[in-house]
Amino acid sequence: MYAFEIERPTTIADAVKAMEHDGAQALGGGQTLIPTLKARLAAPDVLVSLTGIGEMKGVCLSDDGMLCIGAATTHATVAREAAAHFPGLAHLASHIGDPAVRNRGTIGGSLANNDPAACYPAAALGTGAVIITNTRQIAADDYFQGMFTTALHGGEVITEVRFPIPQKSHYMKFVQPASRFALVGVFVAKYADGVRVAVTGASEDGVFRWSEAEAALSADFSAKALDGLSVDADGMIGDLHGTPDYRAHLVKVMTGRAVSAA
């Protein structure tokens, strides 16, 4: 690591102010950023820790039935507190990283980083969640803009994420054996007006919606509805752990399993 200072604001307003420093970077739970800092792949002058901001923590239901999660809420908290309202999301949260990582890592940090193999982006896109920042609300369909790229501006801080609660949902992850990130992860959510399917881990463009599957599953929410479909391997990630063909194949397998388990 290089040398840097850490600021610990206790309000969103103070955090936003701290982010105005040159070389400032937001620090969520740090479970990705800190290893990055250790490798000297990032050189912030100031880290603005968001973990001390009470108003950015917690899980609740809004009046219009959305599940609202403060951006600094840990995966472990989501796993516990979302279970009664949105078991599909709680299940996803309970399988991110390992228990110690889940006690520190936050939903806001995950979405801001937008790792192409992270789990939360699949839930956000797969539900059409709303990403709320200190300045605006961003629809998930507009938020994810490719690997490690989002609609966030410099200095903008995610404060909350709001999920429309589906009738049925499930997240099925096939793990990359070493990192245990998603080699392919599929979030399937069934709403009254249709089904959404979001895929993480697979594409060079980051998380994406599988629209053919959405159409087929909206007509018939069963794994066999996917029978005639296939995923194009073009644009899929190829690495030590999976070729584009393999990932494309797994997208279909995991989608079917997610539907069956929903």
Partner 1 sequence: MASVAMVVNGKSVTREVEGRTLLVDFLRNDLRLTGTHVGCDTSQCGACVVHVNGEAVKACTVFAVELDGAEVATIEGQANKDGSLNVIQQAFQDHHGLQCGFCTPGMVMSAAALLKENPKPTEAEVRSYLEGNICRCTGYHNIVKAIMAASGQDVAAIAAE
Partner 2 sequence: MPKDHGIGASDKRREDVRFLTGAGHYTDDIKHYGATTAIFCRSTVAHGIIKSIDTSRAENMPGVLAVFTGADFADVGGNPAGWLINSRDGTPMKEPKRPVLAHGKVRHVGDAYAAVIAETELQARNAAEAIVAEIEELPAIVDMAAALAGDAFVHDEIGTNQCFDWGWIEDNRAATDAAIKAAPHVTTLELVNNRLVPNAMEPRCSIGNYDAGNDSYVLQTTSQNPHLTRLLISAFVMGIPENKLTVIAPDVGGGFGSKIYHYGEEALVLAAARKIGRPVKWTADRTEAFLTDAHGRDHVTKIELACEKDGTFIAFRTETMANVGAYLSNFSTATPTFLHGTLMAGNYTVPNVYVNVKAVFTNTAPVDAYRGAGRPEATYSIERVIDKAARELGIDPIAIRRKNFVKPDQYPFTSAAGLQYDSGNYDALMDTLEKHIDRKGFEARRKESEARGMLRGLGLNAYIEACGIAPSNLVGVLGSRVGLYDAATVRVNATGNLSVMVGAHSHGQGHETVFPQIVGEMLGIDPQSIDIVHGDTSKIPFGMGTYGSRSLAVCGSAMVRATEKIIAKAKKIAAHMLEASADDVDFKDGQFTVKGTDKSVSFGEVALKAYIPHNFPIEDIEPGLEETAFYDPANFTYPSGAYACEVEVDPDTGKVRVDRFVAVDDFGNIMNPMIVTGQVHGGLGQGIGQALLEGARYDDDGQLLSASYMDYTMPRADDLPFYTVDHANGTPCTHNPLGVKGCGEAGAIGSPPTIVNAVVDALQSAGKNVTHIDMPLTPLRVWEAMQNA
Give the footprint of partner 2 on this chain (CB under 8 A): 1-3, 38-40, 174, 177-179, 240-243, 246, 249-250, 253
User: Could you say which DSSP state residue 203 is in?
Assistant: B
Using rule CB under 8 A, residue 58 touches partner 1: no
170 bridge partner residues:
188
Q: Which of partner 2, partner 1, none is residue 34 near (CB under 5 to 8 Å by kind)?
A: partner 1
Minimum CB–partner distance for residue 213 and partner 2 (Å): 16
DSSP 218: H
Contact between 235 and 247 (Cβ < 8 Å): no
Q: How far is the CB of 247 from partner 2 (least distance, A)?
A: 9
Q: Which is nearer to partner 2, 39 or 192 (CB)?
A: 39
CB-CB contact of 159 with 94 (8 Å): no
* 76 touching partner 1, by CB under 8 A: yes
Counting Cβ atoms within 10 Å, is residue 136 exposed (0-12), middle (13-18) or buried (19+)?
exposed
Question: What is the distance between the alpha carbons of residues 48 and 28, in angstroms, rounded to a whole number?
Answer: 8
Instruction: Confirm or reject binding of residue 41 to partner 1 (CB under 8 A).
Output: no
Q: Half-sphere exposure of residue 130, counting CA atoms within 13 Å on the CB side?
A: 11
Does residue number 37 form part of the binding site for partner 1 (CB under 8 A)? yes
Residue 52 binds partner 1, judged by CB under 8 A: yes
Under rule CB under 8 A, residue 106 binds partner 1: no
Give the chain's radius of gyration (CA, Å). 18
Nearest approach, Cβ of residue 99 and partner 1 (Å): 6
Nearer to partner 2, 158 or 236 (CB): 236
